[in-house]
Amino acid sequence: MSTSKPARTSYGALLELVPTAPVWKVDWQRIWPLWQHLGALDSCPQDPHYHGEGDVGTHTRMVVEALVSLQRWRDLSTRQRSCVFWAAVLHDIGKPATTSFEGNGRISSRGHSRLGARIARHLLWEAGAPFDWREQVCGLIVCHQIPFWLIEREDCQRQAIKTSWKCQADLVCLHAEADAMGRICADQRSILDNVALAEQLFEENGSLREPFAFANDESRVAFFEKQDRDPFFEAYESFNCNVTLMSGLPGAGKDTWIRSNRPDLPVVSLDTVRESMGGRATGNQGRVIQAAYELARSYLRKGQDFVWNATNISEQLRGKPIRLFREYGARVEIVYVEPSLAVLYDQNLNRSAAIPDTALTNLVQKLEPPGETEAHEVIRNVEHFDMMS
């Protein structure tokens, strides 16, 4: 689906489709045709051991109907009710692309949660949904299976803390309860028990309705980068310099933000390094990246604040330079820049190094906005931001 075309629906229309009192009726005739991804669920098989109800479309509708029947969902604020509702509609949207047959009648869909979050982000961005609402939906999708198995993990405390920084734990447990109800399987009761125990674990560590409270920013960053880190340990904060890592798609406005907010700092830009070396964006980038890292090291050795400017559209891509900055004792802030999709495509066309729309659409579909698990501070410069209530 091309993002250069008008969206088939709007954020306002999505809100109108959330069931309300007194009948709480789900209007499937209007919801299912919204996106071709939903229609694809009807022909996507599932493992009969876990899903005796059959295809993903049937399961999805059962989950949503179960959710809407729950008094806990009905008692949420209007905003949170809409958020969990659309997370339920879209929670398995990544299954068609990840489903595989493994023999003996078993079917798997490994990675569908993360891919589903990416697909949902694209669809909701097209619809003009506010950034925070959209990302709450995506957070629930990417974490929606966690309450099923959390209590069985040896590192369940650590996993619970990590989850609380990716989504709101009470909402993901509510969704998981509906997900368990919306299926036919022999172990449904044990799944529901696991979800209840997961919710209790979140409650016990103080992260049921808000992220786990670390002593300071360094304690949080160190916890997420070290597997054996005590979450209650208060880290000493002393930094050699501050590095600003930019994150955003081509044409998002990263250079404009730097000029307005960090005008006096040196900038390590992959585009600039590439141009100085006479390279092309489509060729082997190894030499370009190596040269950029050497320039960054020169600033880090001197304790000089600087800006690292690249697209950095996923946690994996951001992770490598951040590890370098941390090795030199730097404080890391991530600046994420996001305009509307229409503005993004227009600004890309007006860049001297514009990329084809098809290439930009491919990057949009891979985008993972940064979170506070990755850096000491995340600054979001987004066009549509509307705090959840």
Whole-angstrom distance, CA of residue 144 vs CA of residue 124: 18
pLDDT tens sequence across 318-331: 999 999 999 999 99
Same domain for 184 and 298? no
Q: How many CA atoms lie within 13 A of 147 on its CB side?
A: 33
Question: Degrees (nearest 5) of the Cα angle 61, 67, 69?
Answer: 105
Question: How many CA atoms does the CB half-sphere of 264 hold within 13 Å?
Answer: 2
Question: What domain range includes position 361?
Answer: 241-382
Look at residue 219 and tell me if it is in a domain: no
The reply to whether 137 and 188 lie within a common domain is yes
Distance of CA 184 to the CA centre of its chain: 29
Task: Please indicate, yes or no, whether residues 265 and 197 belong to a single structural domain of this protein.
Answer: no
**pLDDT value, residue 383:** 82
Concatenated DSSP letters of 152-201 = GSTTHHHHHHHHHTTS-HHHHHHHHHHHHHTS--TTHHHHHHHHHHHHHH
Instruction: Name the least confident of 74-78, 276-280, 299-303, 330-334.
Output: 276-280
Is residue 3, in this structure, part of any structural domain at all? no
Q: Is residue 236 part of a domain?
A: no
Share of the chain above pLDDT 70, in %: 95
Alpha helix positions (H), the chain:
11-16, 28-31, 36-41, 56-69, 71-74, 78-90, 95-98, 112-126, 131-142, 146-149, 156-164, 169-181, 188-204, 217-225, 254-261, 270-276, 286-302, 315-327, 341-349, 357-364
> Are 275 and 199 in the same domain?
no
CB-based contact 374:122 (threshold 8 Å): no
Domain boundary among 204, 227, 254: 204
CATH (domain of 189): 1.10.3210
- DSSP lists the bridge partners of residue 379 as 335
For residue 77, count other CB atoms closer than 10 A to its CB. 10
Residue ending a domain, among 204, 227, 256, is 204
Final residue in a domain of this structure, among 177, 204, 231 = 204
Same structural domain for residues 150 and 258? no
Q: Write out pLDDT tens, residues 248-299.
A: 999 999 999 999 999 999 999 988 887 887 666 555 577 888 999 999 999 9
In which residue are the tokens 């078993």 written?
A: 106
Percent of the chain residues topping a pLDDT of 90:
88
Same domain, 189 and 314: no
Residue 100 pLDDT: 94
Query: For 23-43, what is the mean pLDDT?
Result: 97
| Domain match, 200 and 245 both | no
- Residues 193, 251 within the same domain: no
28 pLDDT exceeds 60? Answer: yes
- What span, in angstroms and rounded, lies between the C-alpha atoms of 382 and 128? 12
User: Does 388 have pLDDT greater than 70?
Assistant: no
232 occurs within a structural domain? no
Q: Do 198 and 304 belong together in one domain?
A: no
Counting the structural domains of the chain, the total is 2
**Would 327 be classed as within a structural domain?**
yes
Co-location of 141 and 250 in the same domain: no
What per-residue confidence (pLDDT) applies to 270?
Answer: 87
- Identify the three-state secondary structure at position 365: coil
**CATH code: domain of residue 327:** 3.40.50.300
Task: For Cα atoms 363, 369, 375, give the angle at the middle one, nearest 5 degrees.
Answer: 130
Whether 385 has a pLDDT exceeding 80, the answer reads: no
Mean pLDDT of the chain: 93
Task: Say how far apart CA 184 and CA 54 lie, in whole Å.
Answer: 9
Residue 296 falls inside a structural domain: yes
Question: Which pLDDT belongs to residue 172?
Answer: 98
Average pLDDT score over residue span 96-118:
92
Q: What is the mean pLDDT of residues 137-163?
A: 97
**Is the pLDDT assigned to residue 162 strictly greater than 70?**
yes
Q: Is residue 218 part of a domain?
A: no
Longest Cα pair distance anywhere in the chain, in angstroms? 66
Please indicate whether residue 94 or residue 279 has the higher confidence score (pLDDT): 94
Asked whether the predicted pLDDT for residue 384 surpasses 80, the reply is no
- Residue 19 and residue 168 share a domain: yes
> Is the pLDDT confidence value at 133 over 70?
yes
Question: Among 13-27, 214-228, 237-251, 275-289, which is the least confidently predicted range?
Answer: 275-289
Within a domain: 135? yes
- Per-residue model confidence (pLDDT) at position 1: 31
pLDDT at 7: 42
This prediction's pTM: 0.92
- Distance separating alpha carbons of residues 246 and 153, to the nearest angstrom: 35
Same-domain pairing of 33 and 174: yes
* pLDDT band (50, 70, 90) for residue 317: very high
